[in-house]
Chains A and B, each alone.
Chain A
């Protein structure tokens, strides 16, 4: 019974801002969301083993714990910096750019070494799983030398003295450790990330990571700084709910960042991300009545007849940038397969969208998506049955 009392009086220890390099490194590893890739489902955090799907096949994320044989235990600081900066393992082999070392070249030495100091405090776990299941010729790591030559320009971050400290901090986080462009930038033909600073939206695992530029429909043009902060801090801001891959990013990373860093990220994204191309001009809506009827039947109970949704529960469709994105991948994936929103301490609900693919055929999904992309003032291109079929 004494144990019960002790439990009652034990105050929960608040995680305060880092002091030692290792503690600072824990925070920076959270910014980089390293745990997302380097943890197998149900596995020990950072012990690797998760298969990262890429257009060329799966890559097994390696073990980051200080196990000497299978982890980073035998690596020197210089090895660590070289891997994250230049994509080279200690044995000289080249990393595949599933690891966003392209971004990490912008990160300061002291920050990378803090992450290393943090990783060194983890309990060593023996987990030799790594490697890639690529087909020829992508299975040949030496060929990465050509990829790097084509696409990789190591570029340390240079602060803009004409900007505020906060703006520069935001730029450093977004373009560096945060590696936002890895999803929100359009990948090139060989998996190349876009130029730094171009966050015009990109496809990832069947979802479309929206345009983070200033477009008022498809981008962040209609979002306030507070909207961006709340979205990153909680996964939910009354305009949108983080779902799919972004739900993981919010849960593992952004919900755990300081409000000062979230404000910095918002400042950088909101004020200075370059304006992207305006969304495609709307075409006449085919099957508008069919889409509206399906909407009334299958969607309106939650998303409401006027598309306004319910804040924190059912995403708003009217005026939504996800709905009006250039590509409808996210919409198709969510309608066919469902999805679950992020659950965070501040917004724990984690509501789910049910899968409708079993009761709506391709033409019906296309009709209802075309409807929501053109109803309530929305303007975006129609969705074809063919695009829905590819999403199944």
Chain B
């Protein structure tokens, strides 16, 4: 042990995003001594997001102030074997967060539960349509946890965060105005849906006329004030339109800062160390037991934090990379499909439709990250997609997330890129445009994985993570179908002009698409196809839990935060009720 080892903690948590913060809350409430190591800076609403400069679009949306600097940490990327992966030097397709609160600071707030069938995707498809509908190179699998098991933890998260929405399925009874396709929930959302603006309202009317079932997007931008079970007050959203890529200055977007930190700050058994970048998870000589973590602190000094339990709760990329760098678990080998760490990386498949109207004004400056109406009919259970030549699905939405001054300048095709005609078009179209989005699922497949780059290293001399990814043909067929349906709804809204932005391959890491990178340390009931068991406990190191969307075996169409949070709370509960009374593997290997 190094001479400068710090006093041992009961638990050390790597990363203070939603996962780390929720687990810190649950374990510290039970009396455990918790140390949280966060690689980025400390941030709080009062000190960092006063409304006078929280909506600084240049700083946050253009220059990515809440995103990890690529000089500190990045990935390399290639589409397929045979190419040389190159480092991402400016984030584009996705924006991995850094700093206290993690992605929970700059998310939009779209809060979903996955459908019951999502958790048993392979067996569901096989039972419903036969094994043949699953592409031979797809590595999709069941999660090893059911919706029913996660329901109490979805509920707990929604009630900590105050989520605004309307139930569609209360204990099996369908509710008017909610999502008719959702799994049964034990009670309604803690706060009612947000107030709708014109564009989502028109979208919902058009969708309904076409036979769909639109409902308000469940939102972490709260419709009304809410006090959670920790006594923390969350404010009502002011519809300012600065959510995605921004911290909320109004205490009205659920984030670790607004939901958990005021309570954690009062607990003497929780310590948050920011600027602490973890280098490695240290283990006993037999490799079976984690002893703690080595990290570099804010002053650049290497530290060693011992702990009885290690919770790896960083972003998907760093979860996988730290496992690989620490030599925990067998790395995935795409040549023969053996190994697990890095296997089943998946993304999301997105497209959009832009509508331009001549007269109707939609006031896009009113907005919120999760303000909108959604149609969920096109997801897996709703229609027989196998007949159409694909599996998976998408949800369609009109989100009014904010017409911000720098980046929101949509103009019609043929408009000059600058000059008087451009200014005229911007002035005409700013108020009169509507963007509709399709967000689709992503198959995990043999050709998509994460490993360590053979060439590029970070500032500590550690190899960068390498991503090998392209859209599966199945997913491109799926999103084309969904985008066609989206365009039908758009056309029914009666625009003067419509632009359909279909998604084509190959995948590019440059234009922004989604920060829903999942997999690589996936969960499951079988140690030959998963890194962690259904309680997110490492199959190889019993006192290590790996938490986050890295555990998703594949990606449904939905935003992941609700499920990430439910899985974290489910894991925390297993630690308290199963692991601590009998430390060791919760599932025999």
Contacts and interface: CB of A to CB of B under 8 A. Distances in A.
A92 interface: no
Interface string B225-264: 1010011111110101000000001110000000000110
Interface stretch (B29-37, B270-278, B548-556): B29-37
Interface stretch (B45-53, B65-73, B351-359): B45-53
Interface in A72-107: none
A1 interface: yes
B58 interface: no
A7 B32 contact: yes
Contact of B249 (A338, A354, A356, A358): A354
B172 interface: no
A347 interface: yes
Contacts of B580: 1, 4-5, 8
**Residue with the greatest number of chain B CB neighbours at <10 A, chosen from A1, A4, A312:** A4
B32 A355 contact: no
A298 B249 CA distance: 12
B51 A301 contact: yes
Contacts of A350: 46, 262
Interface in A1-42: 1, 3-5, 7-8, 10, 12
Contacts of B266: 343, 345, 348
A301 B234 CA distance: 14
A356 B52 CA distance: 8
Interface residues of A, number: 32
A355 B33 CA distance: 36
A114 B46 CA distance: 40
A302 B51 contact: yes
Contact of A352 (B45, B225, B234): B45
Chain B interface mostly: loop
Contacts of A3: 10, 308
Contacts of A348: 230-232, 262-263, 265-266
B583 interface: yes
The winner among A12, A301, A343, A355 for most chain B CB atoms within 10 A is: A301
A346 interface: yes
Contact of A310 (B233, B308, B309): B233
Interface string A298-320: 10011000000011111000000
B62 interface: no
B250 A302 contact: yes
Interface string B546-569: 000000000000000000000000
Nearest to B584: A1
Contact of B30 (A8, A312, A356, A358): A8
A224 interface: no
B576 interface: yes
Interface residues of B, number: 35
B231 A347 contact: yes
B262 A4 contact: no
A314 B235 contact: yes
Contact of A354 (B52, B238, B240, B263): B52
A164 interface: no
Contacts of A1: 308, 580, 583
A4 B10 contact: yes
Contacts of B31: 7-8, 10, 12
A175 B43 CA distance: 42
Interface in A346-368: 346-352, 354-356, 358-359
Q: Most chain-B Cβ atoms within 10 A of its Cβ — which of A313, A314, A343, A355?
A: A313
B235 A302 contact: yes
Given A346-B231, A351-B251, A354-B249, A340 B225 contact: no
Contacts of B33: 7
B308 A4 contact: yes
B254 to A, nearest CB: 13
Contacts of B233: 310-313, 347, 349, 351
Nearest to B30: A8
Contacts of A8: 30-32, 576, 580
B32 A301 contact: no
A4 B307 CA distance: 11
A301 B240 contact: yes
Question: Which 6 pairs across A and B sit closest by C-beta, in order of nearness?
Answer: A354-B50, A352-B46, A312-B233, A348-B262, A301-B238, A7-B31
20 contacts: A1-B580, A4-B32, A5-B580, A7-B33, A8-B30, A8-B31, A298-B52, A301-B51, A301-B240, A312-B227, A312-B233, A345-B231, A347-B231, A349-B232, A349-B233, A349-B262, A351-B251, A354-B46, A354-B249, A355-B50
Interface of B: 10, 30-33, 45-47, 50-52, 225, 227, 230-236, 238, 240, 249-251, 262-263, 265-266, 308-309, 576, 580-581, 583
Given A8-B32, A312-B227, A343-B266, 12 more contacts: A5-B581, A7-B33, A301-B51, A310-B225, A310-B235, A313-B233, A338-B50, A340-B46, A352-B50, A354-B46, A354-B51, A355-B50
